[in-house]
Amino acid sequence: MGVIEIDPGMCTNCKICSKICPVGIILPGSDSEIPFLPAALEDSCAKCGHCSSVCPVGAITPLYENHPPINNVAYEKRIDPGVLANYMQSRRSVRNFLCKPVEKEKISAILEIARFAPSGMNAQPVRWLVVNDPLKVRNLSALTIEWMLEIKEEDGHHPLKNAIPGFLSSWDNGGDPVCRNAPCLVIAYTYSYYNMGFADSIISLSHIDIAAPAFGLGTCWAGILQIAMSSYQPLKEELKIPEKFMAQYSMMLGYPEYEFQKIPGREKADILWR
């Protein structure tokens, strides 16, 4: 069947598709031939869509299943660097959330953006578990507290051991030091065997982190929960991640209780120029 189709009637023989193919399987042909993808190389196709997206006349059609966004015309204008810098530098970790549910439509719209995050060889391995219920999120925090109690009693060193008393005190006083009373959690998971799963999940979650403020939402990386759910069996059972998959990282999501007025300082970039 093939993986792409090049319309000879439309092709202008510019050969850009051959030059841009990441795996180099679209051959340019001779000066009088249009580019082509040999059948023997089809299995090497990354299905990235570079060729069909770059073709200036739209002569290339993907034959594999793909789901472009509703608006699939590439953004032609350049975002003002100053505007982009201000938006991204204004991003804050939100740890105080309103007691307000997050609309499923907004979550879906944000995940639609994250769907286009880059991944190794366009494997697109990231899947999502959305816990959009504050009581269920609270239960995950409670299980993490149980895990902390076990860690506290164990001999030996644990990276969180010195911090655990403070977490337990906060919990006993009605706080939530794990998920910060967030109404929603977004958890990225991938196949257990996929060795790029963690990196690709972080990239996808970073897209959520950047996109969320545009929807009036705030985020916070749930690092404590991540440590617990990587090893605590009751927490794994509660998450019910499908067999052969593993949770890679999680992110809190909700409406911020407070608005930040300024951008705080950070250390200067430490750069090695070569």
pTM as predicted: 0.94
- For residue 1, the model assigns a pLDDT of 67
- Do 120 and 200 meet the contact criterion of CB atoms below 8 Å apart? yes
* Cα–Cα distance measured from residue 54 to residue 31, given in angstroms and rounded to the nearest whole number: 20
Q: What is the pLDDT of residues 33-70, one digit of tens each?
A: 999 999 999 999 999 999 999 999 999 999 999 899 98
Q: How far is CA 6 from CA 26, 28, 69, in A?
A: 11, 12, 22
- Which residues make beta-bridge pairs with 36? 27
pLDDT (tens digit per residue) in 139-177: 999 999 999 999 988 877 888 888 999 999 999 999 999
- C-alpha 87/C-alpha 108 separation (Å) is 22
In percent, the amount of the chain with pLDDT more than 90 equals 89
Find all residues with CB under 8 Å of 39, minimum gap 6, and list them. Answer: 2
Condensed to tens digits (0 to 9), the pLDDT of residues 243-272 reads 999 999 999 999 999 999 999 999 999 999
Domains in the chain, start-ordered, CATH in brackets?
A: 4-62 (3.30.70.20), 87-254 (3.40.109.10)
